[in-house]
Amino acid sequence: MNHADFRSARERDDLEVQQVTAGWLEAFEAALASQNADRVAGLFVEAGNWRDVLAFTWHLTPRVGAKAIAQALVARQGAVQAHGFEINPERTPPRRAKRLGQACIEALYRFETAVGRGEGLLRLVPADAGGAAGHKAWVFSTSLEELKGFEDKVGDRRPTGAAFSRNFGGDNWEDARRKAQDYADRDPTVLVVGGAQAGLSIAARLNQVGVDALVVEKWPRIGDSWRKRYHSLALHNSIHVNNLPYLPFPPTWPNYIPKDMLGLWFEFYAQVMEINHWTSTEFAHGVWDDAAKCWTATLKRADGSERIMRPRHIVFANGVSSYPLQPEIPGLDSFKGDVLHSEGFDSGEPYAGKRAIVIGTGSSANDIALDLHSFGCHTTMVQRGSTTVVSIDPAAKLNYALYDEGLPVEECDLIGAAATPPMIVTAYQLAVKRMMELDKDMVDGLKRIGFKYDIGEDGTGHQMKYRRRGGGYNLDAGSSDLMIRGEIDLLQNERIERFCPEGALLKDGSIVPADLVILGTGYYPQGELVRRALGEDMEACIGPIWGEGADGELANMYKRTPQEGAWFIAGSLTQARVYSKYLALQIKAMEEGLVDASPFE
């Protein structure tokens, strides 16, 4: 086949893909308008997947199976009035792809509802295994992207700046920003607790849809929650998946961003995105006023004063974890050396030439062990439970492979948000199989020295461990090789009888001497934060936060919770960027009376 023939064949195939996609969307819209569930179900494969992100259900709603999908869509269509389903001309055209081992047509489309505009992902496969004419949907998503009349003020809708342009004798931009941040004569509509990636992302999104939000951060500067972590910390996934909303990182920045660089960016971001924020301010307590439909929130300022605010919403953006978990370790109170939780560790430099015991084998514990070793501190790691270990580079490339395909970040985010829980499990299982091949020498070496290694309870590796419990894995930066070579010692916890003044007393009577013990023992889940800040009754009302809910989605995360006005956002920078949009849209819709503000049932 010559070049011209190849091009002609490619063009014919592209046209066919376009026609198949457009035909399915047309048939779907007609079936949905008829509100005939059987007709809608006939357009999906039996094991089809649908994930709704607010557009139909005002919730994060997964459905698996043609009948379940059709019933849910038809049940909501009368209220939603979805229409205008068409290939999105502003996105990458439909194309053939292979996802989760399945060849398919992959297309991005758009649609409208009574109150907003949405986009979605459509993956089509031949209607039967023999490849007969016609295609059915294997994957379908519906994501609300904007509310009509309340679109983000970006691009052509950006502010004119006329309010501050040559405003002689009046307030300039800086005056207006200072007054806005003071909150001298008003309370914010939304109080955001936490000023890292999640808090900044949701505040930036709320700003764009016209919702007044105040971020409170306990540290003296925005970005300190990263600056104050251990000295050598850098992000464990690459830069192109980590942008915050509206403002990508400079193209000159390194692939793996150092923590102080990231902290600097967060501080800059808060300023240029006009995010109202109070630093050195701690959220002390909150009480829900059901009659007034708002919170009574107590804030403690740096000077010891308190400010009472009455926001209608509180968004907890404190991270997947809350307070450091320091378990009872027999004899540790008798140890004569230093004892630090990993949160309080800065650098191994003060312990050069000394001996350290690091309890734990997660990512932070391993990074700290590496740092100590680099300063010549003899380091022993104590393994308390089986751990998933993957090298950073393979993990980053495999788990974010979509972002390496050359698609715009916005399209990758939309595609990622289409995955139902079963699809996520399958994707991680496939990634783990490949990681095991790439990391075979490292894994074999770890097992050889007695390291307890696993790939997750269902072969889903570290990603599902993070999703389910926020820990139990190590994104390895080199400590595993040092353990295998014996340069960092490995000690299993069951060999320890107790700690003593000199270090760890083993059951055989020997002592592992130490000058420092690091507790890489993790953190309490976010429920502990709720208990301390809102009380035990509120903790019981809201229930688990993070981890898998009954439907496989993250529990009480990015969506309405059983407590009106209480919201949670956490996770990676990617998750913060993606889900801050949808959380902001929910809050805006409630403020405009577009959706019932009562808790989701």
pLDDT tier for residue 3 given thresholds of 50, 70 and 90: low
* pLDDT for 395 beyond 90: no
DSSP notation for 447-468: HHTT--B---TTS-HHHHHHHH
Q: Quick one: average pLDDT of 300-322?
A: 91
* pLDDT for 131 beyond 70: no
Query: What is the average pLDDT value for the chain, to the nearest integer?
Result: 92
Rg, the chain, Cα only = 26
* Alpha helices (H) along 172-216: 173-182, 197-208
Structure tokens belonging to residue 320: 């997947």
Rounded CA separation 256/233 (Å): 10
DSSP notation for 480-518: HHHHHTTSSEEEEGGGEEEEETTEEEETTS-EEE-SEEE
pLDDT tier for residue 229 given thresholds of 50, 70 and 90: confident
What confidence score (pLDDT) does residue 597 get?
Answer: 57
Rounded CA separation 55/147 (Å): 10
Question: DSSP code of 123?
Answer: E
* pLDDT for 118 beyond 90: yes
pLDDT tens for each residue of 430-481: 999 999 999 999 999 999 999 999 999 899 999 999 999 888 999 998 999 9
* pLDDT for 130 beyond 50: no
The H-or-E segment that residue 567 falls in is: strand 566-568
Give how far the C-alpha of residue 19 lies from the chain's centroid of Cα atoms, to the nearest Å: 36
Rounded CA separation 416/409 (Å): 10
What confidence score (pLDDT) does residue 132 get?
Answer: 39
Burial class (CB in 10 A: 0-12, 13-18, 19+), 181: middle
Rounded CA separation 573/590 (Å): 26
Three-state secondary structure call for residue 412: helix
Rounded CA separation 359/331 (Å): 14
What confidence score (pLDDT) does residue 233 get?
Answer: 82
pLDDT tier for residue 165 given thresholds of 50, 70 and 90: low
pLDDT tens for each residue of 46-67: 999 999 999 999 999 999 999 9
* pLDDT for 573 beyond 70: yes
